Amino acid sequence: MNSIRWGIIGCGAVTEVKSGPALQKADGSQLVAVMRRNGDLAADYARRHNVDRWYDNADALINDPQVDAVYVATPPSSHKDYALAVAAAGKPVYVEKPMARLHAECLEMITACETAGVPLFVAYYRRGLPRFAKVRSLLAEKAIGDIRFAQVSYYRRPSEADLRGAENWRVDTRIAGDGYFYDLASHSIDLLQYLLGDAIAAAGYASNQTHMYEASDIVSGVFLTKNDVHVNLVWNFNAATRQDRIEIIGSKGTLTFSTFADNPIVLENSDGVQSFHIDNPPHIQQPLVQTIVNELRGQGKCPSTGRTAAQTNWVMEQMCTPRPRNSGTVFGSNSNVNSDGI
């Protein structure tokens, strides 16, 4: 293909800056059609983003002969159904993260795409960002020696909307999986597997301490990578202060950085302390989108696939499903996971 012509199912907020313009600006890529159930909103998006066609029906977009590949940017509850429909049409699929609500849904998506002979990509775009390419490079250069363990701390205050009990699909377990943990922690878990190796075992606790919504508001967990690196994580959405910190500890130093904040990467070793500030691109999905377009054009490989993303869903499930109910019971095992994490 000389140029990949994209259609978007679900042209909502995430597509306004992060991804929609990325599909337009990547080399060899065009955004030619968008869909939203509310046709007026789809038409408005198409007008503002200079997109030729809009639909209020997903099947119409999927079967548009001018659409080569489809980006599914809806909430997680519909990812599987749309991915299966796109695969059945014989077109490549790019799905927002998390890949699905359940690991089992991820497996269905993988099977459908592999049966149809089409690639499946997932929007864990931190795998494509220059700042994390730098972290990966420092680890490969053994700037901190042999990697021993990693610690993730993310906490923040409840939002005003949560305190008011406002409707929010991200904390509706029927739509999004287990709340903000699935929405946000999935990025860190996926990134750390990219940096440190796939998880082969995982366990954790999930609780709802504030009862502002149904989903968990605190999750603590651990996982062990195939490279024998231990990872400890705490995610809390009802704390008094805010922190976004990942620390990787090696035999000769440490690396510290953030998943979301635009903080410098800090390297500490026998040479002293060094900081690396690497700005994110204005359309943050564009580097990953470029790897997808390159692969579809036969010019490379995308690092975020259905198989890598399913591994992240598996880890999250071990940490928080089912949620303990004042039982003190720990959940999670590696008894059913293979080397691909599926």
174 and 254 fall within a common domain: yes
Res 2: pLDDT: 84
109 and 165 fall within a common domain: no
Spatial neighbors of 254 by CB under 8 A, at least 6 apart, are: 144, 247, 248, 267, 268, 269
53 and 117 fall within a common domain: yes
Distance between CA atoms of residues 340 and 342, nearest Å: 6
Res 331: pLDDT: 35
Give 145's strand partners: none
Q: Is 332 part of any domain?
A: no
Interior angle at CA 175, CA 21 and CA 56, nearest 5 = 50
Give 70's strand partners: 7, 93
Q: Is 335 part of any domain?
A: no
The CATH number of the domain holding residue 54 is 3.40.50.720
Res 1: pLDDT: 63
The CATH number of the domain holding residue 176 is 3.30.360.10
Domain that holds residue 158: 129-279+310-320
Question: CA 45 → CA 38, 82, 93, 274, distances in Å?
Answer: 11, 20, 21, 43
Query: What pTM did the predictor assign?
Result: 0.93
Q: Is 233 part of any domain?
A: yes
299 and 261 fall within a common domain: no
95 and 142 fall within a common domain: no
110 and 233 fall within a common domain: no
At 128-157, the pLDDT tens digits run 999 999 999 999 999 999 999 999 999 999
Asked if 244 and 154 count as a contact pair (C-beta separation under 8 A), the reply is yes
Asked if 177 and 316 count as a contact pair (C-beta separation under 8 A), the reply is yes
Given a cut of 50, the residues of the chain with pLDDT beneath it are: 326-342
Give 153's strand partners: 234, 245
At 207-236, the pLDDT tens digits run 999 999 999 999 999 999 999 999 999 999
Res 279: pLDDT: 95
Amino acid occupying residue 87? A
Give 207's strand partners: 218
SS3 (DSSP) at 35? strand
Distance between CA atoms of residues 303 and 178, nearest Å: 25
Transcribe 141-192 into DSSP letters.
Answer: TTTT-SEEEEEEEEE-PPPHHHHHT---GGG-HHHHSSHHIIIIIHHHHHHH
DSSP state of 85: H
Question: CA 62 → CA 7, 10, 51, 109, distances in Å?
Answer: 8, 12, 16, 16
Q: Is 326 part of any domain?
A: no
Q: Is 217 part of any domain?
A: yes
153 and 84 fall within a common domain: no
In the sheet that holds 120-122, the strands lie side by side as: 53-55, 29-35, 4-9, 69-72, 93-95, 120-122
81 and 186 fall within a common domain: no
94 and 122 fall within a common domain: yes
